[in-house]
A = this chain, B = another copy of it.
Amino acid sequence: MKRNLPAAIALMLVLGMSQTATAADPLPSWRDGRTKQAIVDFVKQVTAKGGPKFVPPADRIAVFDNDGTLWAEQPMYFQLAFVLDRVKSLAPQHPEWQEKEPFKSALAGDLAGVAAGGEKGLLELVAATHAGTTSEEFEKAVKDWLAAAKHPRFNRPYTDLVYQPMLELLVFLRANGFKTFIVSGGGVEFVRAFSEKVYGIPPEQVVGSSIKTNYEVRDGRPVIARLPAIDFIDDKAGKPVGIQKFIGRRPLMAFGNSDGDFEMLEWTTTGPGPRFGLIVHHDDAPREWAYDRESHVGRLNRGLDEAPQRGWSIASMKSDWRRVFPFEK
């Protein structure tokens, strides 16, 4: 085997060269047009050695919102579906929940009732469903749920509802020396439970909201105990704060879909040198959903108004994306 290795390498190299020469489109699910061109041009510029806009690989940081940017967020945030299902599965140990809000509404699947409890009610649900376990137990609970739960519209696992064009974009950026991060308003441990498998993004490159934890040794076994108290909300102005806290440098590219991502896009694109911002616009009801300025989830208002003057690209699901989900033909 070893004697043939140089020949094999030579062959691979030749094949590799011809592949580069007639390179397949790295973003086949993006339709040719202004948005795709803007992405490809930007990446070409910052990776052109000796070029005026060259950026060293260490500074090629790209940040992605998750809900509505990498996977769907309708009819409700998928993590909220997890909360509701988890309330149901924990209910037998909590007979008092049958008569107590917000659990009563959650058990009945009554979202309006849950919403009526306001922030206090929501925190009670988070405490009941996200705390009281170790970090390892919680990770298992999320993985078990993702393996079993089905999305109500598509009747498929939630992790099937990731956007094919964004998966291609992640691969394309990493192939060009970018480090890809998720910066999510969702719970960091919830997203970490599937980010590596689904997006190729390792847990240490996920920034998100978190609850407080505590290190304890229980009967000689160390655990990270999850506590019923909010530690950090990684949304809106919290996103640049989370980026600085976890990543420690300003990103080169940012991708979002709602006004919750506005400050992340603003912080990224007002940095010196070349910067890139993109908003995914949900305007495709037949294939996905159509919502923006008036939506209760993923509301996009200021971003739509200011994107042109700020030089942010808008990716129209309807016209820029040839395919939305990987399971589409």
Give which listed residue, B6, B181, B221, contacts A10 with CB less than 8 A: B6
Chain B residues with CB under 8 Å of A278's CB are none
For the complex, is A50 an interface residue (Cβ under 8 Å from B)? no
We find that the number of chain A residues with CB closer than 8 angstroms to chain B is 47
For the complex, is A224 an interface residue (Cβ under 8 Å from B)? yes
Q: How many copies does the complex hold?
A: 2
Distance in Å from the Cβ of A142 to the closest Cβ of chain B?
12
Centre residue among A5, A192, A204, A238 by max chain B CB count within 10 A: A204
For the complex, is A117 an interface residue (Cβ under 8 Å from B)? no
Q: Is the interface of A mostly helix, strand, loop or mixed?
A: helix
Whether B215 contacts A241 by the Cβ 8 Å rule is yes
A221-241 contacts to B, CB under 8 A, are 221-222, 224, 231, 237-241
Give which listed residue, B202, B213, B238, contacts A244 with CB less than 8 A: B213
A-B contacts, 7 listed (Cβ < 8 Å): A6-B9, A6-B10, A58-B196, A192-B248, A204-B246, A215-B237, A222-B240
Question: Closest 7 interchain pairs by CB?
Answer: A203-B248, A6-B10, A215-B237, A215-B240, A204-B247, A192-B248, A224-B244
